[in-house]
């Protein structure tokens, strides 16, 4: 890893994020709704609303607390003309269908009382036809005081009919006019949006397609303004590929770590949903043996300053991809291996709502179904128990959150991730009481091992020193003597020294 060149928020490396698509997570009876809503459990559609809201999130915080979540990432919440709310009408108003500003304030109060941070989604590259400034442009043409807020090519504008638009739009979509961020008034407007919601208590921003605002000075000032309000504000960019430009401590703290997603899928996936994956921003996933996986991940860890590595938003799925269970072809063994690797590696893991109970769904809109609160039979209870245990272990074991990292591949179907706290001698053991404080005091080393083979794998002593270990996931004992330790077929273990 490179040396740090800027300040990164300390809390992020300890966080477990949970991503919420507000229209689909939970619906509260306290928020009035229009009558034309999709049935909650009906298959999701591109344009339909299901009526989820922010008070619904408040009412379901117990589920997130029991899961072990410590931070929420919310898809856009501002007034909009789309269920996903990436078509922003008003950057300074929470959508009334979500409960308005009061509901966000209630969520911030309730989440913070539980020790949960809240990060909002900011869409600053483009807005919507409903934005006041763009609507004025449609009404008044070249006489509009906002004519230079957008990239206008010709008049009259054609925002709703066929033919040339007359203005630049994201991906050519008429509903998403691109903002002219080169205009000082637009820059000041967007910087003020960033400040405004931090002043009201949010803990950071996830920035949508920030690479399409190809202007480092804009983002550097955005960071400066945000950090002036909250020195610990987390800024994470939606960058799908290499992010060296963005992670030197002067723009973003981390990015959505899709390259790691691809690497994990390439290692553990046997029956990938290649067509669904190809339709998403993940594009293709290359099959990887253990040795190439280790090399790929080492490259990711070495590309950025240490603070950025530990501030990455690591994920297996989002609103822009098929659900992880679907991506992996419904393969339960691959699913558990993928989650183990995600939680064993540096960075803040993020769980997309419903993935903890095994929801399935292909590319948008199918990955955006209503959370089945009323259909407990649709929940994978074994997976939920596994996720709770994995999250609890990450919380209890500081080596998994803040420790050094070493990867190895003793054979091409076995990956070993070793984590330890610098300053510990590695000799510490989990005592008979299993006390996490003992592990912290001893500077204990942990070993996450993933075996992708169809038969149990032995682990060489060079990868796992001789001794007695406890699998923190299952509670079982593993003895390593002359390379005799076994990892189950297509299984994974998280080992700690045991005495």
Q: Contact at 8 Å (CB) between 365 and 46?
A: yes
Active site residue 208: yes
pLDDT of residue 161: 87
pLDDT of residue 479: 87
Indicate whether 279 pLDDT > 90: no
pLDDT of residue 3: 55
Considering the chain, tell me which residue range(s) the CATH 3.20.20.80 domain(s) occupy. Answer: 10-125+181-396
Buried b (16+ CB within 10 A) or exposed e, 459-486: beeebbeebebbbbbeeeebebeeeebb
48-76: pLDDT as tens digits: 999 999 999 999 999 999 999 999 999 99
Indicate whether 474 pLDDT > 80: yes
Helix (H) or strand (E) holding 72: strand 71-74
* 342 three-state secondary structure: helix
What average pLDDT score do residues 439-463 get? 85
Indicate whether 422 pLDDT > 90: no
pLDDT of residue 482: 76
pLDDT of residue 1: 64
Indicate whether 231 pLDDT > 90: yes
What average pLDDT score do residues 256-269 get? 97
Confidence of residue 45 (pLDDT cuts 50, 70, 90): very high
Tokens of 229: 């309000």
Indicate whether 439 pLDDT > 50: no
pLDDT of residue 317: 97
188-203: pLDDT as tens digits: 999 999 999 999 999 9
Confidence of residue 276 (pLDDT cuts 50, 70, 90): confident
Task: For 3-25, give the DSSP string.
Answer: PP-S---GGGGG--EEEE-HHHH
State the chain's mean pLDDT as an integer. Answer: 94
pLDDT of residue 443: 58
Least confident segment among 193-197, 208-212, 358-362, 430-434:
430-434
pLDDT of residue 6: 58
Angle (CA) 379-355-57 rounded to 5° is 85
pLDDT of residue 54: 99
pLDDT of residue 372: 99
Indicate whether 41 pLDDT > 90: yes
Tokens of 106: 């209630």
Confidence of residue 483 (pLDDT cuts 50, 70, 90): confident
Neighbours of 431 (CB within 10 A): 13
Residue 440 dihedral angles phi and psi, to the nearest 5°: -65, -45
Indicate whether 19 pLDDT > 70: yes
Indicate whether 12 pLDDT > 60: yes
Instruction: Give dist(CA 472, CA 477) in Å, integer.
Output: 9
Buried b (16+ CB within 10 A) or exposed e, 265-290: bbbbbeebbeebbeebebeebeebbb
Superfamily designation of domain 10-125+181-396: Glycosidases (3.20.20.80)
Catalytic residue among 121, 208, 356, 418: 208
Provide the whole-model pTM. Answer: 0.95
Burial label for 340, CB within 10 Å (0-12, 13-18, 19+), is buried
Residue holding tokens 């991940």?
Answer: 297
pLDDT of residue 274: 86
Residues 6+ positions from 246 with CB-CB distance below 8 Å: 210, 211, 219, 237, 239, 252, 255
Indicate whether 485 pLDDT > 80: yes
Confidence of residue 35 (pLDDT cuts 50, 70, 90): confident
Catalytic residue among 38, 203, 238, 253: 238
What average pLDDT score do residues 92-104 get? 99
Active site residue 232: no
Indicate whether 217 pLDDT > 60: yes
105-155: pLDDT as tens digits: 999 999 999 999 999 999 999 999 999 999 999 999 999 999 999 999 999
Considering the chain, tell me which residue range(s) the CATH 2.60.40.1180 domain(s) occupy. Answer: 402-497
**For 216, what's the count of Cα atoms within 13 Å in the CB-facing half-sphere?**
8
CATH class of 402-497: mainly beta
Indicate whether 434 pLDDT > 50: no
pLDDT of residue 2: 65
Instruction: Give dist(CA 438, CA 431) in Å, integer.
Output: 7
């Amino acid at each position: 890893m490179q040396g740090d060149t800027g300040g990164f928020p300390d809390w992020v490396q300890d966080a477990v994020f949970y991503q919420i698509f507000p229209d689909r997570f939970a619906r509260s009876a306290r928020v009035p709704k229009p009558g034309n809503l999709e049935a909650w459990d009906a298959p999701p559609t591109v344009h339909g609303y299901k009526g989820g809201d922010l008070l619904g999130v408040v009412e379901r915080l117990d589920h997130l607390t029991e899961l072990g979540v410590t931070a929420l990432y919310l898809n856009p919440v501002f007034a909009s003309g789309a269920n996903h709310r990436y078509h922003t009408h008003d950057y300074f108003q929470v959508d009334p269908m979500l409960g308005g500003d009061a509901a966000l304030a209630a969520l911030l109060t309730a989440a913070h009382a539980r020790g949960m941070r809240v990060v909002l989604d900011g869409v600053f590259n483009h807005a919507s036809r409903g934005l006041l400034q763009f609507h004025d442009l449609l009404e008044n043409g070249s006489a509009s005081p906002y004519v230079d807020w957008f990239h206008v090519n010709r008049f009259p504008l054609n925002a709703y009919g066929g033919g040339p638009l007359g203005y630049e739009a994201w991906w050519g979509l008429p509903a998403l006019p691109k903002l002219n961020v080169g205009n000082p008034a637009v820059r000041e407007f967007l910087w003020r949006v960033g400040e405004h919601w931090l002043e009201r208590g949010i803990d950071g921003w996830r920035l949508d397609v920030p690479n399409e605002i190809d202007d480092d000075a804009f983002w550097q000032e955005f960071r400066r303004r945000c950090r002036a309000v909250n020195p610990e504000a987390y800024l994470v960019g939606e960058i799908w590929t290499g992010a060296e430009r963005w992670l030197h401590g002067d723009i973003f703290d981390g990015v959505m770590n899709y390259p790691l997603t691809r690497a994990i899928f390439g290692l553990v996936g046997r029956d990938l949903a290649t067509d669904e994956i190809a339709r998403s921003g993940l594009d293709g996933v290359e099959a990887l043996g253990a040795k190439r996986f280790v090399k790929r991940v080492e490259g990711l860890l070495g590309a950025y300053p240490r603070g950025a590595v530990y501030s990455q938003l690591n994920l297996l799925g989002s609103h822009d991809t098929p659900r992880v269970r679907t991506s992996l072809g419904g393969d339960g063994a691959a699913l558990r291996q993928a989650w183990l690797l995600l939680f064993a590696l540096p960075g803040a893991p993020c769980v997309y709502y419903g993935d903890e109970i095994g929801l399935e769904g292909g590319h948008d809109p199918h990955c955006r179904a209503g959370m089945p609160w009323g259909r407990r039979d649709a929940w994978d209870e074994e997976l939920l128990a596994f996720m709770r245990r994995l999250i609890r272990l990450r919380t209890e074991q500081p080596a998994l959150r803040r420790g050094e990292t070493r990867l190895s591949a003793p054979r091409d179907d076995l990956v070993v991730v070793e984590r330890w706290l610098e300053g510990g001698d590695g000799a510490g053991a989990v005592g008979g009481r299993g006390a996490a404080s003992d592990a912290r005091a001893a500077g204990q080393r942990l070993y996450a091992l993933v075996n992708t083979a169809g038969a149990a794998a032995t682990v060489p002593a060079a990868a796992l020193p001789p001794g007695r270990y406890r699998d923190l996931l299952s509670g079982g004992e593993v003895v390593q003597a002359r390379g005799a330790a076994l990892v189950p077929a297509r299984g994974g273990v998280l080992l700690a020294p045991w005495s």
